[in-house]
Chains A and B, each alone.
Chain A
């Protein structure tokens, strides 16, 4: 016999769909089917059932092989590493729940570490921009119910957030948008002809690296000022048309992603996009929202912020929090040789960081907490697999629009496996002993 669990939250991307249904065996030990999730989300649930899953911690041996160790051994190695390091880096946090993030913060404070999350390679630049200019935004339901102008700038939701358009941004029939996608005009700004761009009413196929200039041109167009004939490869006339299309809506939203956060100008692109949004509020109602990647990177930012005051790249080495990306950010810390121990959880810097930042990890004490085998676990000294958060354990997560949703446990983890939170609590308690704290 089986049972169906409804209102399940998918723990993969920032869209955080919460209408997923999962069919499990009656004893709750096997996950059998997934309904309503996209291809990526479905796989997130199903792959937890892989027969060849690593279920116990392993230490990297001198000869390159791996030897299984106990969770207690893993706790000891981790606590010792953090206790001895002069400047450990605790990175990731984006694919785990807020409860685990909070214990991680305690550990970082006790060991006087640097702590950081995946915004460092993703929307960290958005956060820098928000810190410089602010953020007029809204929840996704406002987009569903009111938006008649939707702009995707430097992002491709058709591939990266597959259900975003059907749940929130293009197709739904909301309270004031009864005609669904017919209520809306879509502008896509992207140097590529992506699957999202193919759906657009207007595709501004700009020159790479010139988003800042094009955004500036929009602001100039709003004010009716002089423009050169072509900006970023787009004729001035098309820019003015796009500006008019935005102004003529009654509720607009700009969604943006790595195309602008991690290309030339980075935070300045977002800064100017927020300025565009701010300007549009002189004429109509407009908001802007980052398409967050990992399903709980937003949560990590929130927990860092209410406990330490900053959303990422937090340096606790002096016993109080300091922040300055470029100095306190993970890739800079690693490439410059500033850290002497690496703790990774809920992320895969081995796959996502420049190789110059990954190589140092191989030469220092390092721990990787991850149910998977990844490039990061491959380069670390200790690999600690844990239960899949959002599948085998619940816990709070924050959606891309900062809405908190409590993920559910739908199936039991393999026998004897710990969750992130359980492992971290053991590390914290051992670390307190080592540091002689109360």
Chain B
């Protein structure tokens, strides 16, 4: 295996507390090492910024609703496709890139690990086919549990051990990574055209509340000691006043402690928090609830969040929050796709244009930036766009520009048609903070890796960790002449390494490496009850057989990497 030395770069590594010192980073046999021989290939990083490869904690990049988005939006690819070129397969899709393009674009920006945010378990084969066809980056996928019939029945009876056994089974048969919860209870209600908009609305027939579902899944997650915490998209997304539902949801984590061997401290991850931080009573008096939400999260240290930044693009919304998408098409009258999945979940897709001339969109943009600027601990707040919901992930460099430069924010604010409203309904105008490179590394590498339970493996440059390294054409010693230079620098890396293989050089793909599919193998005590329940539901209610559900052959997951969890010692 090759040896490399990345010389003389300004290193930002929160895992080792390195804040911009000039250091050499040595790579050997796929890992970061203390030193390498004189024959090592030299990458000159003088005047450049060096960080670990970035970790995407939440994006919709692989699976049935992503592909439904591709199928039903040919206009997303009109005049914007990229041709086959050298190593690269052809690509297309402005808001929903094809799988090859997804891998290349992430890698070119220095991302080396990404999590598919919501996997409908019945469709796990589809998710894994797309993951397999996404080059370079390691990926995992989160199966959804918050509307699953088994979970609803077990938690109604407060059977945590059974819930845990079911989760372990599900993670194994779907090669899943974590416990994802989307609109708990509300998506099952949606199968009848209904919803749960507060944490106390009971689910039709199953008669359990979202609060009970969330609380029970946190407990089951900690019972198992999974690498990641329960990851939640709360009820009432996107409605003015929803911040109250968000606080009710966050409160469910009070008193709960993380139990795991992976270094994770949190028990709840609130995702795309921008969409859940709205005050006001209607679109007319709509205002930011970012302060209320970040105040709470700042004080409650067992919670992590990601932002969900609006990028002001034409994009495509897609989520397992089926009723929300139906609501959205009622507002913007754009084409609506929906799929209810038996016993498990649903998904909806609707295009959306975040126009700078619309005050609501401008306020959403501001809220997405207020949140990371108001969060005190960058290790607990991660940058996302909930791709493609608030914007395409290819806009991360632009989001970084806004966070690192008040001038860039002001330029955008002055360009809004309803600038006055943005300033009156949010506090974005008064936030002077500019993110430092160290904080950026915390929010895009070390933080998400730790919360995902991957903190020993990636997100940092400590010897022994995977050699996932990104080198940016950004000189921390030079003052920034034009904020757009920040966006440019973070768009295309000078060099990127994935597991010790150089995959990007001068912004171009030069190799694709051997990507891995990360999944969690949790062992639990034998549970005949759960096995019997699974057998029974397959015979009576599923539309496919259990044997066919469970068959996930090698060709779907050609290079698996299992994080092992032993929950059998639980009493």
Contact = CB atoms under 8 A, between A and B. Distances in A.
Q: Do chains A and B touch in the complex (CB under 8 A)?
A: yes
Interface of A: 6-7, 9, 18-19, 98-99, 102, 109, 127, 130-142, 144-146, 167-168, 174-176, 250-251, 278, 281, 284-285, 287, 301-303, 305-311, 316, 318-323, 394, 396, 398, 402-406, 438
B545 A18 contact: yes
**Nearest 3 A-B pairs (CB), nearest first?**
A141-B342, A141-B543, A134-B335
Q: Main secondary structure on chain A at its contact with chain B?
A: mixed
B418 to A, nearest CB: 30
Contacts, number: 187
Contact of B547 (A7, A98, A307, A321): A7
Contacts of A146: 191-192
A285 B84 contact: no
Contacts of B125: 396, 404-406
A146 B193 CA distance: 12
Nearest to B190: A285
Contacts of A405: 125, 544, 548
A107 B193 CA distance: 45
Contacts of A404: 123, 125-126, 129
Contact of B98 (A19, A287, A309, A316): A309
A102 B133 contact: yes
B64 interface: yes
Nearest to A144: B543
Contacts of A398: 126
A133 B73 CA distance: 10
Interface in B92-130: 92-93, 98-100, 122-123, 125-126, 129-130
Contacts of A403: 122-123, 543-544
Contact of A307 (B74, B100, B543, B552): B100
Given A307-B133, A396-B555, 20 more contacts: A7-B548, A19-B545, A130-B72, A131-B71, A135-B338, A138-B346, A141-B542, A142-B340, A142-B342, A281-B193, A306-B98, A307-B89, A308-B90, A309-B76, A310-B74, A319-B84, A319-B90, A322-B81, A404-B123, A404-B129
Nearest to A278: B336
A51 to B, nearest CB: 32
A141 B149 CA distance: 13
Given A19-B545, A141-B541, A403-B122, A305 B67 contact: yes
Given A139-B122, A168-B543, A285-B191, A306 B67 contact: yes
B541 A175 contact: yes
Nearest to B82: A320
B425 to A, nearest CB: 31
Contacts of B556: 396, 406
25 contacts: A102-B133, A109-B90, A127-B71, A131-B72, A131-B335, A134-B335, A135-B337, A135-B339, A136-B337, A137-B338, A138-B191, A138-B341, A140-B543, A167-B543, A302-B71, A302-B126, A305-B67, A306-B130, A308-B98, A309-B93, A311-B71, A396-B556, A404-B129, A405-B548, A406-B556
Contacts of A175: 540-541
B326 interface: yes
Nearest to A172: B543
Contacts of B123: 402-404
A438 B87 contact: yes
A396 B548 CA distance: 11
Interface string B519-557: 000000000000000000000111111011001110110
A264 to B, nearest CB: 23
A144 B342 contact: yes
Contacts of A98: 129
Interface in B288-331: 326, 329
A138 B68 contact: no
B23 interface: no
A406 B548 contact: yes
A250 B70 contact: no
Contacts of B77: 309-310, 321, 323
Nearest to B98: A309
Contacts of B343: 141, 145
B37 interface: no
A281 B133 contact: no
A404 B533 CA distance: 23
Given A174-B541, A319-B83, A306 B70 contact: yes
A251 B543 contact: no
Nearest to B124: A404
B205 to A, nearest CB: 8
B41 to A, nearest CB: 21
A310 B553 CA distance: 27
A6 B547 contact: yes
B541 A139 contact: no
A9 to B, nearest CB: 7
A139 B543 contact: yes
Contacts of A285: 191-193
Interface in B45-102: 62, 64, 66-68, 70-74, 76-77, 81-84, 86-87, 89-93, 98-100
Nearest to B81: A320
Given A141-B343, A141-B542, A146-B191, A309 B130 contact: no
Contact of B92 (A167, A281, A308): A308
Contacts of B68: 135, 402
B555 A99 contact: yes
Which one of A109, A308, A405 has the highest number of Cβ atoms from chain B below 10 Å of its Cβ?
A: A308
B92 A321 contact: yes
B72 A134 contact: yes
A358 B82 CA distance: 33
B84 A320 contact: yes
Nearest to A6: B547
A134 B98 CA distance: 19
Contacts of A302: 67, 71, 126
B71 A305 contact: yes
A320 B92 contact: yes
A131 B70 CA distance: 10
A308 B92 CA distance: 7
- Interface-central residue, A394, A398, A404, by most chain B CB under 10 Å: A404
B345 to A, nearest CB: 10
Given A306-B133, A307-B98, A307-B99, A321 B90 contact: yes
Interface string B157-200: 00000000000000000000000000000000001110000000
Contacts of B91: 320
Nearest to A110: B84
